[in-house]
């Protein structure tokens, strides 16, 4: 029986150090996000509430700031900056309980308000549809190239150079990120087609 190949052992230390550094970077990144949320994201709505109190004796301004606070609260909750009319459509969809924040953001890209229309509607053009299928094609070709290249590197690494196993895994990760990027337009199109069937006419 052939002896167990342990040539990969020297690389384990470096891999462990890489994982440790990655974890440390991730923790620092999330701490930065928390700091940003406390000092930059919440401040606008706090300022609007203070201004609303300052003009509480003026009904028109009070109503204006109430609307502004609602708009800002919606933006903070969904990361969608849009008009009241479009917000009402998104809230109607949200009541169904089947749409995530990311999906609502995708839907908001396709909401249009045409002249003479009483409320916004979802509009999908031929260009949108063509772009969605070009996106799908690019994602599939990228996935095929990524899997092939990664498979070759990993097979070569198992037989000769263990470092190529990590290179193959890294290559696969890179191509998966690229696939996710290319799939965005197609995923948005699928989400919006579903929403279009469920949204009631106003």
Query: How far lies 50's CA from each of 54, 57, 127, 130, in Å?
Result: 6, 13, 45, 48
Q: Which residues contact 167 (CB under 8 A, 6 or more apart)?
A: 153, 157
**Confidence tier at 37 by pLDDT (50, 70, 90):** low
End-to-end CA distance of the chain: 75
127 pLDDT tier (thresholds 50, 70, 90): very high
The one-character DSSP state at 41 is I
Instruction: Please state, in angstroms and rounded to a whole number, the distance separating the CA atoms of residues 153 and 7.
Output: 16
Lowest mean pLDDT among 33-47, 67-81, 184-198: 33-47
pLDDT bucket at 1, cuts 50 / 70 / 90: very low
Place of tokens 């970077």: 25
Q: Minimum mean pLDDT among 8-12, 63-67, 163-167, 168-172: which range? A: 8-12
Identify any residues that bridge with 122 across adjacent strands, giving them in sequence order: 111
pLDDT in tens, 142-199: 999 888 888 888 888 888 887 888 888 888 888 888 888 889 999 999 999 988 887 7
């Amino acid at each position: 029986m052939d002896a167990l190949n342990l040539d990969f052992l020297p690389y384990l230390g470096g891999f462990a150090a890489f994982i440790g550094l990655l974890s440390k970077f991730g923790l620092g990144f999330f701490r930065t996000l928390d700091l940003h949320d406390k000092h930059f994201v919440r401040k606008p709505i706090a300022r609007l509430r203070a201004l609303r109190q300052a003009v509480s004796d003026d009904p028109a301004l009070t109503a204006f700031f109430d609307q502004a606070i609602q708009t800002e609260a919606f933006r903070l909750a969904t990361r969608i900056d849009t008009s009241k009319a479009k917000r009402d459509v998104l809230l109607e969809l949200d009541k169904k309980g089947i749409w995530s924040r990311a999906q609502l953001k995708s839907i908001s890209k396709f909401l249009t308000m045409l002249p003479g229309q009483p409320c916004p509607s979802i509009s999908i053009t031929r260009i949108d549809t063509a772009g969605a299928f070009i996106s799908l094609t690019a994602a599939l070709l990228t996935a095929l190239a990524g899997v092939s290249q990664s498979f070759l590197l990993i097979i070569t690494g198992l037989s000769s150079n263990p470092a190529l196993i990590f290179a193959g895994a890294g290559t696969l990760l890179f191509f998966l990120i690229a696939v996710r990027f290319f799939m965005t337009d197609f995923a948005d199109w699928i989400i919006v087609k579903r929403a279009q069937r469920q949204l009631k006419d106003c």
